[in-house]
């Protein structure tokens, strides 16, 4: 079934699954199914032909964030076993994936508000600046996409006031910024790099490519009007997911020094060891502060092998000397923001941030908290140029663990 909500910004590929007393928000993207900012997704959305589709670039995480906020509110009262409706929910689980739009994954799902079509043929296109051909959305059968840029500046240019006509134009030079790196060449303007196809920002996937995700859509709720709260890249999206805001703070742990910023790079990037960078300083209140205040249990799971990001032990805002943390191991810091929130540190709840092996153990043992977030590593994230089949297998494993849980 499809679920429509009011117009907003970028649409996220979002699925909501109700599993025996638990609500799972997972995203292709906006990764939730909850996904982060879907740069790659921009391809699918670009094809959407209306301003609201621009969210395509927001794919995932943001969707999960939006639903997570509401879900946790309901969860806070879930302890009342006699309550009805939403208060029957015992667990809310947000599975955060990366960079896929609604149109990229579900643009041709029957009955959904996806890619504009007439007689089965897309009615929209984007001009390829290299050969001046206007490229229509097409079925991308490859498992590795190269995607497109998704900073706040890029998103504004791509959406172009609602024209949705600059997605191919903005990918010039994007091959230099793939994460993880492309397994072969990364130039979308060379067909040899895109499986003989046009630039894959215009590609969409179907049931044959994503059978499990489409099966979830068949049996649960597919949100085709879920919108992202921020038009930017992964870091601001993850900050929104756990706090509803993205900012830069000029003073360590001083919330009054924080100012709205959706393009900030107050982050430790996986760029090699021995570099001196500022330690992230997220001084404002996050959702876990409210959960803790309401005595609602929570955990924030990250990929096995995550961290440490610094070889020293810096405080917020001071200098971090980077470790060899890479995209091939663990959750990168721009997808793992909660440890650097002042409220998490001051509430002595850093221990609630645990690796994925703890999630599986908690699910098996019936010890899941009321609210959970799950963040991937690069290989399982579905972020270009990760294999989307690897990500789908990973998400399916998470959902299977939840369905088998004793909770």
Query: Which residue positions in the chain have pLDDT lower than 70?
Result: 1-10, 12, 18-23, 25-83, 175-177, 327-328
Q: How much is the pLDDT for 272?
A: 83
Q: How much is the pLDDT for 22?
A: 60
Cα–Cα distance measured from residue 370 to residue 375, given in angstroms and rounded to the nearest whole number: 17
Cα–Cα distance measured from residue 161 to residue 6, given in angstroms and rounded to the nearest whole number: 19
Four-residue CA torsion sign, 163, 2, 29, 373: positive
Q: How much is the pLDDT for 379?
A: 93
Q: How much is the pLDDT for 29?
A: 34
Cα–Cα distance measured from residue 211 to residue 278, given in angstroms and rounded to the nearest whole number: 43
Cα–Cα distance measured from residue 167 to residue 55, given in angstroms and rounded to the nearest whole number: 12
Q: How much is the pLDDT for 228?
A: 78
Phi, psi of 282 (to 5 degrees): -105, 90
Q: How much is the pLDDT for 79?
A: 41
What is the reported pTM? Answer: 0.84
Q: How much is the pLDDT for 37?
A: 37
What digits encode the pLDDT tens for the residues 224-246? 988 777 889 999 999 999 999 99
Cα–Cα distance measured from residue 239 to residue 249, given in angstroms and rounded to the nearest whole number: 13
**SS3 letters for the chain?**
CEECCCCCCCEECEEEEEECCEEEEEECCCCCCCEECCCCCHHHHHCCCCHHHHHHHHCEHHHHHHHHHHHHHHHHCCCCCCCCHHHHCCEEEEECECCCEHHHHHCCCCCCCCCCEECCEECCCEECCCCCCEECCEECCCCECCCCCCCHHHHHHHHHHHCCCCCCHHHCCHHHHCCCCCCCCCCCCCHHHCCCCCCHHHEECCCCCCHHHHHHHHHCEEECCCECCCCCCHHHHHHHHHHCCCEEECCCCCHHHEEECCCCCCCCCCCCCCCEEECCCECCCCHHHHHHHCCCCEEEEECCCCCCCECCCCCCCCEEEECCCCCCCCCCHHHCCHHHEHHHHHCCCHHHEEEHHHHHHHHHHCCCCCEEEECCCCCCCCCCCCEHHHHHHHHHHHHHHHHCCCC
């Amino acid at each position: 079934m499809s679920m429509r909500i009011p117009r907003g910004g970028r649409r996220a590929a979002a699925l909501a699954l109700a599993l025996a007393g638990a609500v799972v928000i997972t995203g292709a993207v906006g990764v939730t199914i909850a996904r982060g900012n879907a740069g790659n997704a921009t391809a699918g959305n670009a094809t959407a032909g209306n301003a609201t589709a621009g969210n395509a670039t927001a794919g995932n995480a943001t969707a999960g964030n939006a639903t997570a906020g509401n879900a946790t509110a309901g969860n806070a009262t879930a302890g009342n076993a006699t309550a009805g409706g939403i208060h029957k929910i015992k667990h809310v689980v947000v599975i955060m994936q990366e960079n896929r739009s609604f149109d990229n994954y579900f643009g041709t799902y029957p009955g959904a508000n996806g890619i504009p079509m007439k007689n089965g043929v897309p009615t929209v296109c984007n001009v390829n600046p290299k050969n001046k051909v206007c490229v229509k959305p097409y079925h991308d059968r490859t498992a590795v996409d190269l995607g497109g840029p998704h900073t706040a500046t890029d998103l504004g240019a791509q959406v172009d006031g609602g024209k949705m006509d600059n997605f191919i134009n903005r990918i010039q030079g994007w091959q230099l910024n793939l994460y993880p790196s492309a397994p072969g060449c990364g130039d979308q303007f060379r067909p040899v790099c895109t499986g003989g196809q046009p630039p894959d920002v215009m590609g969409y996937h179907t049931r044959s490519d994503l059978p499990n995700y489409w099966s979830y859509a068949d049996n649960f709720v597919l949100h085709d009007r879920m919108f992202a709260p921020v038009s930017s890249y992964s870091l601001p999206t993850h900050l929104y997911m756990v706090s509803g805001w993205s900012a830069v703070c000029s003073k360590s742990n001083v919330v009054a020094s924080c100012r709205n910023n959706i393009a900030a790079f107050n982050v430790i990037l996986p760029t090699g060891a021995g570099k001196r960078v500022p330690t992230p300083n997220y001084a404002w209140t996050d959702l876990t502060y409210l959960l803790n205040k309401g005595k609602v249990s929570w955990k924030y799971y990250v990929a096995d092998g995550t961290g440490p990001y610094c070889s020293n032990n810096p405080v917020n805002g001071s200098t971090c000397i980077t470790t060899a943390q890479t995209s091939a191991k663990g959750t990168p810091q721009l997808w793992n923001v909660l440890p650097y929130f002042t409220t998490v540190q001051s509430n002595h709840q850093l221990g609630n941030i645990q690796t994925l092996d703890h999630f599986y153990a908690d699910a098996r043992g019936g010890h899941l908290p009321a609210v959970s977030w799950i963040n991937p590593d690069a290989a399982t994230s579905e972020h270009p140029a990760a294999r989307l089949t690897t990500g789908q297998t990973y998400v399916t494993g998470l959902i299977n663990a939840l369905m088998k849980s004793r909770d």
